[in-house]
């Protein structure tokens, strides 16, 4: 991380496809849990270096499963990538462990902001640097950089994480991941259960991290409107398949996306009921 380079952020060229130099390439993966439950059926996606890519979809679509396949956390849940391949930074990840992935520069921030509740906020952050060997002063510096992005965490540094608010826990989880100085973050539903203004605050920080630290981000979200506002490109996942993809702007303006993921409709609300082929989403807006 480098605060010095925070000055003028250049306006980036809009992404028109997810080609470009990929830091992550997921090719046609199939994932099976417990040897029988087929959850992903041929998912492919690319994350170009330095971009924010959104993975959208409703409950049970397979977003978390996709992220866990990428971070190799899947194995500990008795899941297995049975077909296809995942390449991170030019290396296949089949034989790697979560520990290797963090060492290679990828950290997953899991769904439900899993902080260490009995550790203080600062201890949570320090634990995030577990894979690095830092001197006392380097650790101080790394913490200060996280506090620079998350000033709220500085105020709460000595509180037990379990007693902080939902937003603060989400910030702790993201800040903790940043302590490993990752090249790429996998964020699983950072907006979950948070008030809109907290969601906005967190997404602004995520965008900052992306632009100033150059961290590539793959973002799984049900909150389509927020995700598309901050992402460059999006994929829509339904029942374990990518059903649509495109630049974030184009997706946000797409008629079907508007209707079924953003809860807006030009023809009026009635149209949902006539389209049984789309499952209703629990949370749209």
Partner 1 sequence: MADLLFFLEVLIGGLLAGVMYSLIALGFVLIYKASSVFNFAQGAMVFFAVLSFVGFMELGIPFWAALPVTVVLMIFVGMATERMVLRPLVNQSEETLLMATIGLAFVLEGMAQFLWGVEVRRLDLGIPDVPMAWLADTTGIFVSVFDVVAGVVAAIMVIALALLFSKTKVGLGLRAVADGHAAAMSIGIPLKQIWMLVWATAGIVALVAGMLWGARNGVQFALVWLALKALPVLIIGGFTSVPGVIIAGLIVGASEKLAEVYIGPYFGGGIELWSPYVLAVIFLMFRPEGLFGEKHIRRV
Binding residues for partner 1, rule: CB under 8 A, are 71, 73, 76-78, 97-99, 101-103, 107-110, 112, 114-119, 123, 126-128, 130-131, 160, 162-163, 166, 169, 176-177, 179-180
Q: Does 222 bind ligand ATP (CB under 6 A)?
A: yes
Q: Does 124 bind Mg ion (CB under 5 A)?
A: no
Torsion angle (degrees, nearest 10) of CA 250, 256, 261, 266: 100
Q: Cβ distance 1 to 181 under 8 Å?
A: yes
For residues 131 and 225, which CB has a smaller minimum distance to partner 1 in the complex? Answer: 131
Q: Cβ distance 219 to 54 under 8 Å?
A: yes
Instruction: Indicate the pairing of strand 184-188 with strand 106-109.
Output: parallel
Residue 59, judged by CB atoms within 10 A of its CB (0-12, 13-18, 19+), counts as exposed
Binding residue for Mg ion, selected from 46, 64, 124, 164, defined by CB under 5 A: 64
Helix (H, G, I), strand (E, B) or coil at 231: coil
Give the binding range for Mg ion (CB under 5 A) out of 16-24, 35-43, 103-111, 176-184: 103-111
Rounded Cα distance, 67 and 151, in Å: 28
Show the site string, 175-214: x = touches ligand ATP by CB under 6 A, - = not: ----------------------------------------
The minimum distance between CB 246 and partner 1, in angstroms, equals 30
The minimum distance between CB 115 and partner 1, in angstroms, equals 7
* Of 8, 24, 85, 44, nearest in space to 217 by CA: 24
Q: At 112, list the tokens.
A: 């439900």
Lookup result for tokens 């409107």: 225
Judged by CB under 6 A, the chain residues 225 through 284 that form the site for ligand ATP are: none
For residues 62 and 247, which CB has a smaller minimum distance to ligand ATP in the complex? Answer: 62
Rounded Cα distance, 21 and 24, in Å: 9
Q: Binds 57, which of ligand ATP, partner 1, Mg ion, none (CB < 5 to 8 A, cut-off by type)?
A: ligand ATP
Which stretches of the chain bind Mg ion, using CB under 5 A? 64, 111
Which positions lie near ligand ATP, rule CB under 6 A? Answer: 33-34, 37, 39, 57, 59-65, 77, 79, 111, 222
């Amino acid at each position: 991380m480098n605060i010095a380079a925070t000055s003028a952020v250049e306006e980036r060229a809009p992404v028109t496809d997810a080609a470009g130099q990929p830091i992550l390439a997921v090719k046609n993966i199939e994932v099976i849990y417990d040897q029988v439950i087929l959850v992903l059926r041929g998912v492919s996606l690319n994350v170009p270096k330095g971009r924010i890519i959104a993975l959208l979809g409703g409950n049970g679509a397979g977003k978390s499963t996709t992220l866990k396949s990428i971070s190799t956390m899947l194995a500990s849940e008795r899941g297995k990538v049975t077909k296809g391949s995942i390449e991170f930074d030019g290396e296949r990840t089949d034989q790697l462990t979560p520990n290797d992935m963090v060492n290679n520069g990828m950290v997953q921030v899991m769904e439900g902001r899993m902080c260490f509740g009995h550790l203080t906020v600062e201890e949570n952050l320090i634990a995030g640097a577990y894979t690095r060997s830092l001197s006392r002063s380097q650790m101080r510096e790394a913490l200060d950089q996280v506090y620079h992005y998350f000033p709220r965490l500085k105020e709460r540094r000595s509180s037990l994480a379990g007693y902080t608010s939902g937003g603060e826990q989400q910030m702790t989880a993201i800040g903790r991941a940043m302590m490993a100085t990752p090249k790429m973050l996998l964020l699983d539903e950072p907006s979950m259960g948070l008030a809109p203004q907290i969601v906005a605050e967190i997404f602004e920080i995520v965008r900052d991290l992306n632009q100033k630290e150059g961290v590539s981000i793959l973002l799984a979200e049900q909150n389509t409107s927020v995700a598309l506002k901050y992402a460059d490109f999006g994929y829509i996942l339904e029942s374990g398949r990518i059903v649509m993809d495109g630049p974030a702007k184009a997706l946000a303006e797409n008629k079907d996306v508007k209707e079924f993921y953003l809860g807006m409709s030009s023809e009026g609300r009635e149209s949902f009921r006539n389209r049984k082929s789309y499952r209703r989403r629990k949370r749209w807006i």
